[in-house]
Structure 1
Amino acid sequence: MANRNELDPEKSPSAAFGLLLRRLRDEKGWTQDELAERIGCSGTHISAVETGRRPPTTQFAASADKALGSGDKLVRQSRAVRYTALLEGSSEYIAHESRAAEVRLYEVGVIPGILQTPEYASTLTARAVERGSITSEQGEERLSLVTTRQASLRRTPPPLVFVVLDESCLRRPVGGPAVMGDQLARLVDFAALPNTVLQVAPFDMGDRRPLSLPLYVLTTPSRSLLSYAESAHRGQLERETASVVPLLTAYHQLQAEALSQAESVAMINQLRKGTP
Protein backbone atom coordinates (compact mmCIF):
# COMPACT_ATOMS: atom_id res chain seq x y z
CA MET A 1 0.00 0.00 0.00
CA ALA A 2 2.85 2.39 0.81
CA ASN A 3 4.07 2.33 -2.79
CA ARG A 4 0.73 3.15 -4.36
CA ASN A 5 0.74 6.09 -6.75
CA GLU A 6 -1.24 9.02 -5.41
CA LEU A 7 -3.93 10.05 -7.86
CA ASP A 8 -5.02 13.67 -8.34
CA PRO A 9 -8.59 13.73 -9.74
CA GLU A 10 -8.07 17.38 -10.76
CA LYS A 11 -5.21 16.43 -13.06
CA SER A 12 -7.37 14.98 -15.84
CA PRO A 13 -10.66 13.14 -16.46
CA SER A 14 -8.64 9.91 -16.82
CA ALA A 15 -7.13 10.43 -13.37
CA ALA A 16 -10.59 11.06 -11.88
CA PHE A 17 -11.85 7.85 -13.48
CA GLY A 18 -8.84 5.90 -12.19
CA LEU A 19 -9.37 7.17 -8.65
CA LEU A 20 -13.04 6.18 -8.72
CA LEU A 21 -12.20 2.73 -10.09
CA ARG A 22 -9.56 2.19 -7.40
CA ARG A 23 -11.94 3.31 -4.63
CA LEU A 24 -14.71 0.99 -5.82
CA ARG A 25 -12.25 -1.90 -6.11
CA ASP A 26 -10.87 -1.23 -2.62
CA GLU A 27 -14.39 -1.25 -1.19
CA LYS A 28 -14.76 -4.79 -2.52
CA GLY A 29 -11.39 -5.77 -1.10
CA TRP A 30 -10.21 -7.00 -4.52
CA THR A 31 -6.74 -6.86 -6.04
CA GLN A 32 -6.27 -5.55 -9.55
CA ASP A 33 -5.88 -9.13 -10.79
CA GLU A 34 -9.11 -10.19 -9.08
CA LEU A 35 -11.06 -7.40 -10.74
CA ALA A 36 -9.37 -8.12 -14.06
CA GLU A 37 -10.45 -11.77 -13.90
CA ARG A 38 -14.06 -10.75 -13.35
CA ILE A 39 -14.20 -8.40 -16.35
CA GLY A 40 -11.98 -10.31 -18.76
CA CYS A 41 -8.77 -8.30 -18.98
CA SER A 42 -5.33 -8.27 -17.33
CA GLY A 43 -4.21 -6.82 -14.03
CA THR A 44 -1.75 -4.71 -16.01
CA HIS A 45 -4.67 -3.19 -17.90
CA ILE A 46 -6.47 -2.36 -14.64
CA SER A 47 -3.28 -0.75 -13.32
CA ALA A 48 -2.90 1.40 -16.44
CA VAL A 49 -6.49 2.61 -16.21
CA GLU A 50 -6.28 3.30 -12.48
CA THR A 51 -3.16 5.43 -12.89
CA GLY A 52 -4.59 7.37 -15.83
CA ARG A 53 -2.11 5.94 -18.33
CA ARG A 54 -4.83 4.28 -20.40
CA PRO A 55 -8.24 5.88 -20.99
CA PRO A 56 -11.25 3.63 -20.32
CA THR A 57 -13.58 2.57 -23.11
CA THR A 58 -17.32 2.62 -22.56
CA GLN A 59 -17.33 -1.18 -22.69
CA PHE A 60 -14.62 -1.37 -20.02
CA ALA A 61 -16.52 1.04 -17.76
CA ALA A 62 -19.79 -0.89 -18.21
CA SER A 63 -18.06 -4.23 -17.44
CA ALA A 64 -16.41 -2.77 -14.35
CA ASP A 65 -19.71 -1.28 -13.13
CA LYS A 66 -21.38 -4.69 -13.51
CA ALA A 67 -18.59 -6.54 -11.68
CA LEU A 68 -18.39 -3.97 -8.89
CA GLY A 69 -22.13 -3.47 -8.53
CA SER A 70 -21.68 0.27 -8.90
CA GLY A 71 -24.71 1.06 -11.06
CA ASP A 72 -23.51 3.35 -13.85
CA LYS A 73 -20.98 5.38 -11.87
CA LEU A 74 -18.02 4.39 -14.00
CA VAL A 75 -19.92 4.72 -17.27
CA ARG A 76 -20.94 8.26 -16.34
CA GLN A 77 -17.39 9.15 -15.31
CA SER A 78 -16.04 7.67 -18.56
CA ARG A 79 -18.02 10.23 -20.56
CA ALA A 80 -15.82 12.98 -19.14
CA VAL A 81 -12.76 11.08 -20.39
CA ARG A 82 -14.21 10.60 -23.86
CA TYR A 83 -15.35 14.21 -24.25
CA THR A 84 -12.16 16.01 -23.30
CA ALA A 85 -13.14 19.08 -25.33
CA LEU A 86 -16.06 19.77 -23.00
CA LEU A 87 -16.14 22.14 -20.08
CA GLU A 88 -16.42 20.83 -16.54
CA GLY A 89 -19.94 19.68 -15.74
CA SER A 90 -21.11 19.53 -19.35
CA SER A 91 -20.73 15.78 -19.83
CA GLU A 92 -22.95 15.12 -16.81
CA TYR A 93 -25.46 17.69 -18.05
CA ILE A 94 -25.62 15.97 -21.44
CA ALA A 95 -26.33 12.64 -19.76
CA HIS A 96 -29.31 14.22 -17.97
CA GLU A 97 -30.43 15.99 -21.16
CA SER A 98 -30.74 12.65 -22.97
CA ARG A 99 -33.38 11.55 -20.43
CA ALA A 100 -35.11 14.84 -19.63
CA ALA A 101 -38.86 15.30 -19.97
CA GLU A 102 -38.44 19.03 -20.72
CA VAL A 103 -35.47 20.99 -22.05
CA ARG A 104 -35.27 24.78 -21.83
CA LEU A 105 -32.34 26.68 -23.24
CA TYR A 106 -31.24 30.22 -23.94
CA GLU A 107 -28.26 30.82 -26.20
CA VAL A 108 -26.26 33.90 -27.16
CA GLY A 109 -24.08 34.40 -30.24
CA VAL A 110 -24.22 30.89 -31.68
CA ILE A 111 -26.88 28.38 -32.65
CA PRO A 112 -26.99 25.72 -29.90
CA GLY A 113 -25.66 22.27 -30.68
CA ILE A 114 -29.01 20.50 -30.62
CA LEU A 115 -30.15 22.72 -33.53
CA GLN A 116 -26.96 22.93 -35.60
CA THR A 117 -26.77 21.58 -39.13
CA PRO A 118 -23.71 19.39 -39.84
CA GLU A 119 -22.16 22.15 -41.96
CA TYR A 120 -22.68 24.82 -39.30
CA ALA A 121 -21.21 22.56 -36.60
CA SER A 122 -18.26 21.60 -38.81
CA THR A 123 -17.46 25.23 -39.59
CA LEU A 124 -17.44 26.26 -35.93
CA THR A 125 -15.31 23.26 -35.01
CA ALA A 126 -12.82 23.85 -37.83
CA ARG A 127 -12.31 27.45 -36.68
CA ALA A 128 -11.70 26.29 -33.09
CA VAL A 129 -9.07 23.83 -34.33
CA GLU A 130 -7.43 26.54 -36.45
CA ARG A 131 -7.20 28.82 -33.42
CA GLY A 132 -5.58 26.04 -31.42
CA SER A 133 -8.26 26.13 -28.73
CA ILE A 134 -8.96 22.42 -29.31
CA THR A 135 -7.13 19.59 -31.06
CA SER A 136 -8.43 17.91 -34.19
CA GLU A 137 -9.29 14.85 -32.08
CA GLN A 138 -11.31 17.03 -29.71
CA GLY A 139 -12.99 18.57 -32.73
CA GLU A 140 -14.11 15.12 -33.83
CA GLU A 141 -15.46 14.53 -30.32
CA ARG A 142 -17.49 17.71 -30.52
CA LEU A 143 -19.04 16.78 -33.86
CA SER A 144 -19.84 13.29 -32.62
CA LEU A 145 -21.45 14.76 -29.54
CA VAL A 146 -23.66 17.12 -31.58
CA THR A 147 -24.98 14.11 -33.51
CA THR A 148 -25.52 12.10 -30.31
CA ARG A 149 -27.40 14.92 -28.57
CA GLN A 150 -29.66 15.56 -31.54
CA ALA A 151 -30.48 11.85 -31.84
CA SER A 152 -31.35 11.60 -28.14
CA LEU A 153 -33.97 14.35 -28.52
CA ARG A 154 -35.72 12.38 -31.27
CA ARG A 155 -36.60 9.55 -28.90
CA THR A 156 -40.15 8.32 -28.27
CA PRO A 157 -41.88 9.97 -26.55
CA PRO A 158 -39.92 13.12 -27.34
CA PRO A 159 -39.17 15.73 -24.69
CA LEU A 160 -40.71 19.18 -24.76
CA VAL A 161 -38.01 21.55 -25.99
CA PHE A 162 -38.21 25.32 -25.42
CA VAL A 163 -35.57 27.46 -27.12
CA VAL A 164 -34.94 31.19 -26.85
CA LEU A 165 -32.21 32.52 -29.13
CA ASP A 166 -30.65 35.92 -28.73
CA GLU A 167 -30.91 37.78 -32.05
CA SER A 168 -27.11 37.62 -32.29
CA CYS A 169 -27.39 33.86 -32.94
CA LEU A 170 -29.23 34.61 -36.18
CA ARG A 171 -27.11 37.51 -37.35
CA ARG A 172 -23.63 36.11 -36.68
CA PRO A 173 -22.45 34.75 -40.06
CA VAL A 174 -20.99 31.25 -39.90
CA GLY A 175 -19.64 29.48 -42.97
CA GLY A 176 -21.05 31.79 -45.61
CA PRO A 177 -24.54 32.38 -47.04
CA ALA A 178 -25.24 28.76 -48.01
CA VAL A 179 -24.39 27.40 -44.58
CA MET A 180 -26.38 30.11 -42.83
CA GLY A 181 -29.31 29.66 -45.20
CA ASP A 182 -29.53 25.97 -44.39
CA GLN A 183 -29.11 26.68 -40.68
CA LEU A 184 -31.95 29.20 -40.66
CA ALA A 185 -34.13 26.73 -42.55
CA ARG A 186 -33.37 24.14 -39.85
CA LEU A 187 -34.67 26.57 -37.22
CA VAL A 188 -37.94 27.05 -39.10
CA ASP A 189 -38.37 23.28 -39.38
CA PHE A 190 -37.67 22.91 -35.65
CA ALA A 191 -40.33 25.50 -34.80
CA ALA A 192 -42.90 23.49 -36.75
CA LEU A 193 -42.49 20.37 -34.61
CA PRO A 194 -45.35 19.55 -32.20
CA ASN A 195 -43.08 19.27 -29.14
CA THR A 196 -41.08 22.49 -29.57
CA VAL A 197 -41.29 26.24 -29.02
CA LEU A 198 -38.77 28.59 -30.65
CA GLN A 199 -38.51 32.27 -29.76
CA VAL A 200 -36.08 35.06 -30.54
CA ALA A 201 -34.98 37.62 -27.95
CA PRO A 202 -34.51 40.72 -30.15
CA PHE A 203 -31.83 43.33 -29.59
CA ASP A 204 -34.43 45.96 -28.76
CA MET A 205 -35.38 44.12 -25.56
CA GLY A 206 -32.47 46.07 -24.11
CA ASP A 207 -32.36 46.10 -20.33
CA ARG A 208 -35.61 44.10 -20.11
CA ARG A 209 -33.54 40.99 -20.79
CA PRO A 210 -33.40 39.00 -17.50
CA LEU A 211 -30.54 36.74 -18.69
CA SER A 212 -27.26 37.75 -20.30
CA LEU A 213 -25.45 34.40 -20.46
CA PRO A 214 -26.49 31.06 -21.98
CA LEU A 215 -28.62 28.90 -19.70
CA TYR A 216 -29.99 25.36 -19.84
CA VAL A 217 -32.75 24.13 -17.50
CA LEU A 218 -33.95 20.52 -17.46
CA THR A 219 -37.03 18.91 -15.97
CA THR A 220 -36.30 15.27 -15.27
CA PRO A 221 -38.86 12.45 -15.65
CA SER A 222 -39.38 12.63 -11.86
CA ARG A 223 -40.13 16.39 -12.25
CA SER A 224 -37.01 17.54 -10.42
CA LEU A 225 -35.01 20.44 -11.86
CA LEU A 226 -31.39 21.03 -12.72
CA SER A 227 -29.59 23.79 -14.58
CA TYR A 228 -26.37 24.21 -16.48
CA ALA A 229 -24.61 27.49 -17.26
CA GLU A 230 -21.26 28.25 -18.86
CA SER A 231 -18.67 30.98 -18.54
CA ALA A 232 -15.69 31.22 -20.87
CA HIS A 233 -13.69 28.57 -19.04
CA ARG A 234 -16.01 26.39 -16.99
CA GLY A 235 -19.50 24.99 -16.74
CA GLN A 236 -21.65 24.82 -13.63
CA LEU A 237 -24.22 22.08 -13.11
CA GLU A 238 -26.74 22.94 -10.38
CA ARG A 239 -28.95 20.26 -8.85
CA GLU A 240 -30.37 22.09 -5.83
CA THR A 241 -33.98 23.04 -6.56
CA ALA A 242 -33.75 26.19 -4.43
CA SER A 243 -30.95 27.45 -6.69
CA VAL A 244 -32.58 26.37 -9.97
CA VAL A 245 -36.04 27.88 -9.39
CA PRO A 246 -34.85 31.54 -9.63
CA LEU A 247 -33.15 30.68 -12.93
CA LEU A 248 -36.33 29.05 -14.21
CA THR A 249 -38.27 32.15 -13.18
CA ALA A 250 -35.84 34.34 -15.12
CA TYR A 251 -36.25 32.04 -18.12
CA HIS A 252 -40.03 32.41 -18.00
CA GLN A 253 -39.62 36.19 -17.81
CA LEU A 254 -37.36 36.00 -20.85
CA GLN A 255 -39.99 34.03 -22.77
CA ALA A 256 -42.64 36.61 -21.88
CA GLU A 257 -40.52 39.48 -23.25
CA ALA A 258 -39.22 37.64 -26.33
CA LEU A 259 -40.96 37.55 -29.70
CA SER A 260 -43.74 35.01 -30.10
CA GLN A 261 -42.94 31.90 -32.13
CA ALA A 262 -44.83 33.30 -35.13
CA GLU A 263 -42.93 36.60 -34.93
CA SER A 264 -39.65 34.74 -34.44
CA VAL A 265 -40.20 32.55 -37.50
CA ALA A 266 -41.10 35.65 -39.51
CA MET A 267 -37.79 37.27 -38.48
CA ILE A 268 -35.86 34.15 -39.44
CA ASN A 269 -37.59 33.99 -42.84
CA GLN A 270 -36.77 37.66 -43.46
CA LEU A 271 -33.10 36.91 -42.80
CA ARG A 272 -33.26 33.91 -45.14
CA LYS A 273 -34.48 36.27 -47.87
CA GLY A 274 -31.66 38.68 -47.13
CA THR A 275 -33.86 41.44 -45.75
CA PRO A 276 -32.93 43.12 -42.44
Structure 2
Amino acid sequence: MNRKELEPEKSPGAAFGQRLRSMRDERGWTQDELAERMGYSGTHISAVETGRRSPTPHFAQSVDKAFGTGDQFEREGRAVRNTGLLEGFPEYVPHEKRAAEIRLFELGIIPGLLQTPEYAAAITTGAVKRGAITEQQAEERLTLLAGRRAALERTPAPLVFVVLDESCLKRIVGGHQVMRAQLTKLLEFAELPTTVLQVAPYELGERRAFDLPVHLLTLTDRTNLAYAESAQRGHLVRETTSVVSMLTAYHQLQAEALSQAASVAVIEDLRKGTP
Protein backbone atom coordinates (compact mmCIF):
# COMPACT_ATOMS: atom_id res chain seq x y z
CA MET A 1 0.00 0.00 0.00
CA ASN A 2 1.32 3.44 -0.94
CA ARG A 3 1.61 5.77 2.03
CA LYS A 4 2.23 9.42 1.36
CA GLU A 5 5.25 10.76 3.20
CA LEU A 6 4.16 13.53 5.54
CA GLU A 7 6.12 16.73 6.16
CA PRO A 8 4.96 18.02 9.58
CA GLU A 9 7.35 20.97 9.43
CA LYS A 10 5.50 22.49 6.45
CA SER A 11 2.52 23.89 8.34
CA PRO A 12 0.34 23.46 11.45
CA GLY A 13 -2.07 21.45 9.29
CA ALA A 14 0.69 19.07 8.23
CA ALA A 15 1.81 18.67 11.85
CA PHE A 16 -1.79 17.89 12.88
CA GLY A 17 -2.01 15.25 10.14
CA GLN A 18 1.28 13.65 11.20
CA ARG A 19 0.17 13.46 14.82
CA LEU A 20 -3.19 12.00 13.81
CA ARG A 21 -1.50 9.27 11.75
CA SER A 22 1.03 8.51 14.50
CA MET A 23 -1.68 8.10 17.15
CA ARG A 24 -3.71 5.92 14.80
CA ASP A 25 -0.69 3.74 13.99
CA GLU A 26 0.10 3.32 17.68
CA ARG A 27 -3.30 1.76 18.17
CA GLY A 28 -3.06 -0.34 15.03
CA TRP A 29 -6.22 1.21 13.58
CA THR A 30 -6.87 1.65 9.88
CA GLN A 31 -8.26 4.94 8.63
CA ASP A 32 -11.66 3.30 8.25
CA GLU A 33 -11.55 1.95 11.81
CA LEU A 34 -10.75 5.39 13.22
CA ALA A 35 -13.39 6.92 10.98
CA GLU A 36 -16.03 4.56 12.34
CA ARG A 37 -15.18 5.60 15.90
CA MET A 38 -15.40 9.28 14.96
CA GLY A 39 -18.44 9.23 12.69
CA TYR A 40 -16.48 10.25 9.60
CA SER A 41 -15.34 8.47 6.43
CA GLY A 42 -11.95 6.92 5.87
CA THR A 43 -11.50 9.28 2.95
CA HIS A 44 -11.98 12.25 5.28
CA ILE A 45 -9.38 10.88 7.71
CA SER A 46 -6.93 10.43 4.83
CA ALA A 47 -7.50 13.99 3.63
CA VAL A 48 -6.77 15.46 7.07
CA GLU A 49 -3.70 13.28 7.59
CA THR A 50 -2.19 14.39 4.28
CA GLY A 51 -3.12 18.05 4.76
CA ARG A 52 -5.68 18.17 1.97
CA ARG A 53 -8.42 19.14 4.45
CA SER A 54 -8.23 21.25 7.57
CA PRO A 55 -9.59 19.82 10.82
CA THR A 56 -12.83 21.52 11.86
CA PRO A 57 -13.53 22.05 15.58
CA HIS A 58 -15.96 19.11 15.54
CA PHE A 59 -13.40 16.88 13.81
CA ALA A 60 -10.67 17.73 16.35
CA GLN A 61 -13.05 17.10 19.26
CA SER A 62 -14.00 13.75 17.74
CA VAL A 63 -10.33 12.78 17.49
CA ASP A 64 -9.79 13.58 21.17
CA LYS A 65 -12.83 11.50 22.08
CA ALA A 66 -11.67 8.52 19.99
CA PHE A 67 -8.11 8.61 21.36
CA GLY A 68 -8.97 9.74 24.89
CA THR A 69 -6.54 12.65 24.61
CA GLY A 70 -8.51 15.28 26.51
CA ASP A 71 -8.41 18.48 24.43
CA GLN A 72 -4.98 18.03 22.81
CA PHE A 73 -6.22 17.73 19.25
CA GLU A 74 -8.80 20.44 19.81
CA ARG A 75 -6.00 22.84 20.81
CA GLU A 76 -3.84 21.78 17.87
CA GLY A 77 -6.83 22.26 15.60
CA ARG A 78 -7.15 25.86 16.76
CA ALA A 79 -3.50 26.40 15.83
CA VAL A 80 -4.22 25.05 12.36
CA ARG A 81 -7.14 27.42 11.88
CA ASN A 82 -5.19 30.36 13.32
CA THR A 83 -3.20 30.70 10.13
CA GLY A 84 -2.44 33.48 7.72
CA LEU A 85 -3.74 31.36 4.85
CA LEU A 86 -7.30 31.63 3.68
CA GLU A 87 -9.39 28.58 4.49
CA GLY A 88 -9.41 26.22 1.52
CA PHE A 89 -6.14 27.52 0.03
CA PRO A 90 -3.82 24.84 1.47
CA GLU A 91 -6.01 22.25 -0.27
CA TYR A 92 -5.52 24.04 -3.59
CA VAL A 93 -1.73 24.48 -3.55
CA PRO A 94 -0.67 20.81 -4.09
CA HIS A 95 -2.88 20.67 -7.19
CA GLU A 96 -1.34 23.88 -8.53
CA LYS A 97 2.17 22.44 -8.16
CA ARG A 98 1.38 19.56 -10.52
CA ALA A 99 -0.99 21.29 -12.93
CA ALA A 100 -0.26 21.20 -16.65
CA GLU A 101 -2.19 24.43 -17.22
CA ILE A 102 -2.92 27.30 -14.83
CA ARG A 103 -5.45 30.05 -15.55
CA LEU A 104 -5.71 33.06 -13.24
CA PHE A 105 -7.89 36.13 -12.97
CA GLU A 106 -7.15 38.74 -10.33
CA LEU A 107 -8.49 42.11 -9.19
CA GLY A 108 -6.70 44.87 -7.33
CA ILE A 109 -3.50 42.95 -6.64
CA ILE A 110 -0.89 41.13 -8.71
CA PRO A 111 -1.38 37.34 -8.39
CA GLY A 112 1.01 35.66 -5.98
CA LEU A 113 2.69 33.58 -8.67
CA LEU A 114 3.74 36.78 -10.47
CA GLN A 115 4.69 38.87 -7.44
CA THR A 116 8.23 40.01 -6.79
CA PRO A 117 9.49 39.25 -3.24
CA GLU A 118 9.37 42.97 -2.43
CA TYR A 119 5.78 43.34 -3.63
CA ALA A 120 4.73 40.25 -1.65
CA ALA A 121 6.50 41.55 1.45
CA ALA A 122 4.72 44.89 1.16
CA ILE A 123 1.34 43.14 0.98
CA THR A 124 1.99 41.01 4.06
CA THR A 125 3.50 43.94 5.99
CA GLY A 126 0.34 45.90 5.34
CA ALA A 127 -1.76 43.01 6.64
CA VAL A 128 0.36 42.83 9.81
CA LYS A 129 0.02 46.58 10.43
CA ARG A 130 -3.77 46.30 10.07
CA GLY A 131 -3.78 43.49 12.62
CA ALA A 132 -5.21 41.06 10.04
CA ILE A 133 -2.37 38.58 10.54
CA THR A 134 0.61 38.15 12.87
CA GLU A 135 4.25 38.45 11.84
CA GLN A 136 4.55 34.66 12.08
CA GLN A 137 1.56 34.24 9.77
CA ALA A 138 3.09 36.75 7.36
CA GLU A 139 6.25 34.66 7.25
CA GLU A 140 4.13 31.57 6.60
CA ARG A 141 2.51 33.29 3.63
CA LEU A 142 5.82 34.39 2.15
CA THR A 143 7.39 30.95 2.55
CA LEU A 144 4.46 29.28 0.83
CA LEU A 145 4.50 31.85 -1.95
CA ALA A 146 8.20 31.29 -2.61
CA GLY A 147 7.54 27.56 -2.94
CA ARG A 148 4.66 28.15 -5.34
CA ARG A 149 6.77 30.38 -7.57
CA ALA A 150 9.61 27.84 -7.58
CA ALA A 151 7.16 25.13 -8.70
CA LEU A 152 6.61 27.06 -11.95
CA GLU A 153 10.23 26.39 -12.90
CA ARG A 154 9.70 22.64 -13.14
CA THR A 155 10.22 20.68 -16.38
CA PRO A 156 8.04 20.59 -18.33
CA ALA A 157 6.81 24.01 -17.28
CA PRO A 158 3.06 24.50 -16.98
CA LEU A 159 1.18 26.72 -19.39
CA VAL A 160 0.12 29.81 -17.45
CA PHE A 161 -2.65 32.13 -18.64
CA VAL A 162 -3.22 35.31 -16.64
CA VAL A 163 -5.86 38.02 -17.00
CA LEU A 164 -5.31 41.04 -14.78
CA ASP A 165 -8.02 43.55 -14.09
CA GLU A 166 -6.64 47.01 -14.78
CA SER A 167 -6.91 47.76 -11.06
CA CYS A 168 -4.01 45.35 -10.43
CA LEU A 169 -1.71 47.66 -12.38
CA LYS A 170 -3.03 50.99 -11.09
CA ARG A 171 -2.84 50.15 -7.38
CA ILE A 172 0.56 51.27 -6.04
CA VAL A 173 1.93 48.67 -3.60
CA GLY A 174 5.14 49.21 -1.62
CA GLY A 175 5.92 52.56 -3.23
CA HIS A 176 6.94 53.49 -6.76
CA GLN A 177 10.26 51.64 -6.77
CA VAL A 178 8.65 48.35 -5.75
CA MET A 179 5.86 48.90 -8.26
CA ARG A 180 8.26 49.63 -11.09
CA ALA A 181 10.13 46.38 -10.41
CA GLN A 182 6.80 44.54 -10.28
CA LEU A 183 5.76 45.90 -13.67
CA THR A 184 9.12 44.82 -15.06
CA LYS A 185 8.47 41.34 -13.68
CA LEU A 186 5.15 41.23 -15.53
CA LEU A 187 6.83 42.16 -18.80
CA GLU A 188 9.42 39.40 -18.28
CA PHE A 189 6.62 36.94 -17.56
CA ALA A 190 4.87 37.87 -20.80
CA GLU A 191 8.02 37.04 -22.79
CA LEU A 192 8.12 33.40 -21.63
CA PRO A 193 7.13 30.78 -24.22
CA THR A 194 4.68 29.09 -21.85
CA THR A 195 2.71 32.15 -20.73
CA VAL A 196 -0.05 34.49 -21.90
CA LEU A 197 -0.66 37.77 -20.07
CA GLN A 198 -3.69 39.96 -20.76
CA VAL A 199 -5.22 43.05 -19.18
CA ALA A 200 -8.98 43.44 -18.68
CA PRO A 201 -9.46 47.24 -18.99
CA TYR A 202 -11.97 49.19 -16.95
CA GLU A 203 -13.92 49.76 -20.16
CA LEU A 204 -15.12 46.15 -20.10
CA GLY A 205 -17.63 47.18 -17.45
CA GLU A 206 -20.38 44.58 -17.13
CA ARG A 207 -18.70 42.40 -19.79
CA ARG A 208 -16.04 41.34 -17.31
CA ALA A 209 -16.86 37.71 -16.55
CA PHE A 210 -15.77 37.57 -12.88
CA ASP A 211 -16.21 39.79 -9.85
CA LEU A 212 -13.87 37.73 -7.64
CA PRO A 213 -10.39 36.22 -8.14
CA VAL A 214 -10.41 32.86 -9.90
CA HIS A 215 -7.87 30.04 -10.27
CA LEU A 216 -8.49 27.29 -12.84
CA LEU A 217 -6.25 24.23 -13.13
CA THR A 218 -5.93 21.53 -15.76
CA LEU A 219 -4.03 18.53 -14.38
CA THR A 220 -1.88 16.18 -16.43
CA ASP A 221 -4.79 13.71 -16.73
CA ARG A 222 -6.88 16.62 -18.15
CA THR A 223 -8.97 16.85 -14.99
CA ASN A 224 -10.12 20.42 -14.37
CA LEU A 225 -10.32 22.08 -10.95
CA ALA A 226 -11.38 25.55 -9.91
CA TYR A 227 -10.53 27.61 -6.84
CA ALA A 228 -12.43 30.77 -6.01
CA GLU A 229 -12.12 33.19 -3.09
CA SER A 230 -14.27 35.55 -1.12
CA ALA A 231 -13.01 37.79 1.66
CA GLN A 232 -13.71 35.05 4.20
CA ARG A 233 -12.61 31.78 2.58
CA GLY A 234 -11.53 29.92 -0.50
CA HIS A 235 -13.28 26.96 -2.06
CA LEU A 236 -11.91 24.19 -4.30
CA VAL A 237 -14.46 23.05 -6.88
CA ARG A 238 -14.28 19.62 -8.51
CA GLU A 239 -17.79 19.26 -9.91
CA THR A 240 -17.49 19.00 -13.68
CA THR A 241 -20.46 21.19 -14.58
CA SER A 242 -19.36 24.02 -12.29
CA VAL A 243 -15.78 23.95 -13.50
CA VAL A 244 -16.78 23.82 -17.17
CA SER A 245 -19.00 26.85 -16.60
CA MET A 246 -16.09 28.76 -15.06
CA LEU A 247 -13.77 27.72 -17.91
CA THR A 248 -16.31 28.99 -20.42
CA ALA A 249 -16.53 32.32 -18.59
CA TYR A 250 -12.73 32.53 -18.51
CA HIS A 251 -12.49 32.01 -22.25
CA GLN A 252 -15.09 34.73 -22.74
CA LEU A 253 -13.02 37.03 -20.54
CA GLN A 254 -9.91 36.31 -22.61
CA ALA A 255 -11.81 37.19 -25.77
CA GLU A 256 -12.94 40.52 -24.27
CA ALA A 257 -9.58 41.44 -22.70
CA LEU A 258 -6.75 43.21 -24.49
CA SER A 259 -4.41 41.07 -26.57
CA GLN A 260 -1.04 40.25 -25.03
CA ALA A 261 0.68 42.76 -27.31
CA ALA A 262 -1.74 45.52 -26.30
CA SER A 263 -1.50 44.48 -22.64
CA VAL A 264 2.29 44.64 -22.72
CA ALA A 265 2.06 48.13 -24.24
CA VAL A 266 -0.20 49.24 -21.37
CA ILE A 267 2.22 47.85 -18.77
CA GLU A 268 5.21 49.45 -20.50
CA ASP A 269 3.47 52.85 -20.51
CA LEU A 270 2.68 52.52 -16.82
CA ARG A 271 6.26 51.55 -16.03
CA LYS A 272 7.60 54.56 -17.94
CA GLY A 273 5.30 56.78 -15.91
CA THR A 274 6.47 55.31 -12.60
CA PRO A 275 9.12 57.52 -10.93
**What TM-score does the superposition give when structure 1 sets the normalisation length?**
0.75
Inter-partner Cα distance in structure 1 for 2:90 and 2:132: 18
The alpha-carbon deviation at position 79 of structure 1 amounts to 8.8
Contact 1:13–1:84 (CA under 8 A) maintained in structure 2: no
Inter-partner Cα distance in structure 2 for 1:179 and 1:29: 53
Contact 2:201–2:258 (CA under 8 A) maintained in structure 1: yes
The answer to whether residue 84 in structure 2 is matched with residue 85 in structure 1 is yes
1:165-180 paired onto structure 2 within 5 Å: 165-180=164-179
Contact 1:17–1:78 (CA under 8 A) maintained in structure 2: no
Aligned residues: 225
- Cα–Cα, structure 1 residues 247 and 273, in superposed 2: closer, same or farther, change >3 Å? same
Equivalent residue number for residue 195 of structure 2: 196
Inter-partner Cα distance in structure 2 for 1:94 and 1:213: 18
Contact 1:228–1:235 (CA under 8 A) maintained in structure 2: yes
Bigger shift: 96-105 or 238-247?
A: 238-247
Contact 2:209–2:250 (CA under 8 A) maintained in structure 1: yes
Equivalent residue number for residue 28 of structure 1: 28
The SS at the match of 2:51 is helix
Gaps in structure 1 of 5+ consecutive residues = 1-11, 31-69
Which AA in structure 1 matches 2:21?
L
Percent of residue pairs bearing the same amino acid type: 57
Inter-partner Cα distance in structure 2 for 1:148 and 1:19: 24
Inter-partner Cα distance in structure 1 for 2:23 and 2:220: 30
Inter-partner Cα distance in structure 2 for 1:243 and 1:19: 35
The answer to whether residue 185 in structure 2 is matched with residue 210 in structure 1 is no
Inter-partner Cα distance in structure 2 for 1:29 and 1:266: 61
The alpha-carbon deviation at position 74 of structure 1 amounts to 2.7
Inter-partner Cα distance in structure 2 for 1:24 and 1:245: 39
Contact 2:13–2:51 (CA under 8 A) maintained in structure 1: no
Aligned-CA RMSD value: 2.8
**What TM-score does the superposition give when structure 2 sets the normalisation length?**
0.75
Inter-partner Cα distance in structure 2 for 1:150 and 1:143: 11
Equivalent residue number for residue 74 of structure 1: 49
Inter-partner Cα distance in structure 1 for 2:86 and 2:176: 30
- Cα–Cα, structure 1 residues 223 and 160, in superposed 2: closer, same or farther, change >3 Å? same
Equivalent residue number for residue 17 of structure 1: 17
Inter-partner Cα distance in structure 2 for 1:148 and 1:79: 20
1:1-276 paired onto structure 2 within 5 Å: 13=13, 17=17, 20-21=20-21, 24-25=24-25, 28-29=28-29, 74-77=49-52, 81=80, 84-274=83-273
- Cα–Cα, structure 1 residues 79 and 180, in superposed 2: closer, same or farther, change >3 Å? farther
